[in-house]
Amino acid sequence: MPASALRPGFSRRLRTPRAITALMLREMVTTYGRSPGGYLWAILDPVGAIALLSIIFSQVFHAPALGASFPLFYATGYLPFAMFNDVANKTATTIRFSKPLLQYPAVTFLDAVLARFLLNGLTHIVVFFIVVIGLQLILGVITSIHFPAIVLAMAMALSLALGIGTLNCCLMAAFPVWERVWQIATRPLFIISGVFFLYDSLSENIRAMMWFNPLTHVIGEMRRGFYPTYEAAYVSHTYVFGIALITFVIGLALLYRYHRDLLNN
């Protein structure tokens, strides 16, 4: 078979990785390259939040619910929460952010969604390890890390962010008011997801309701990775990945069906 006959198919296979890479580079410039400090703020934001929580609660309690380090305890709750929340919100605004580029045939809505998800997800992974290593080096926090549990918790947070973000990508583009409604409805998540308390310390009635919050499982799995004595028996990986898969499939189907209408709106 002539080499020229293989060229069109080979070009189509390379189109998606090239488009995703180009979109990621574009967002790196527009999101982090134009603001003073750039990526530095991505690190300072969680560090400031963890420090504030540690200062406030150390004045009330003699010791955190797990271990002896307030910063580590709140880091294991805040960082996975922030990972989900920020990546989901960034993914949800993909059409608005990349609308001019989506007019070109070479760029698909899936390219844009994946590029925005991958860049922000990788950013949060890097920030996570910088903060955790910084706590160990600067504050002398010593802990026995179970790396597989940490990776699993990140996978849960990011898959949930991709699923909900993809679904909201269509809903927010179709109904602009939904973005505001979603922001208001999800504000209590920071309080009810277990960022600054343990699920096990709550009453049975409250635990029965909190169990349905998938972020409770994500944070529980993350803390299991840092505290060997913490079992977190309530964590259901199937539940979290199930929600992530269902929302992603529904969001992808809606975008496939209505993305042209959304771009022309």
Return the closest-CA partner of residue 50 out of 80, 72, 83: 72
Across 199-226, average pLDDT: 94
Asked if residue 230 belongs to a domain, the reply is yes
Q: pTM of the predicted model, to two decimals?
A: 0.88
Identify which has the larger pLDDT, 18 or 5. 18
Total domains in the fold of the chain = 1
Nearest-10 Cα torsion for 22, 94, 216, 240: -80
Q: CA torsion sign, 255 to 259 to 263 to 265?
A: negative
Asked if residue 11 belongs to a domain, the reply is no
Question: What per-residue confidence (pLDDT) applies to 35?
Answer: 60
Identify which has the larger pLDDT, 159 or 50. 159
Instruction: For residue 199, give every residue at least 6 positions away whose Cβ sits within 8 Å of its Cβ, in sequence order, or none.
Output: 207, 210, 211, 216, 220, 232, 234
Asked if residue 231 belongs to a domain, the reply is yes
Asked if residue 6 belongs to a domain, the reply is no
Asked if residue 10 belongs to a domain, the reply is no
Asked if residue 4 belongs to a domain, the reply is no
In the predicted structure, residue 36 carries a pLDDT above the cut 60: no
pLDDT tens string 108-147: 888 889 999 999 999 999 999 999 888 888 877 767 789 9
Asked if residue 232 belongs to a domain, the reply is yes
Pair 80, 49: CB distance under 8 Å? no
Asked if residue 103 belongs to a domain, the reply is yes
Q: Which domain holds residue 213?
A: 16-264
Question: What per-residue confidence (pLDDT) applies to 155?
Answer: 97
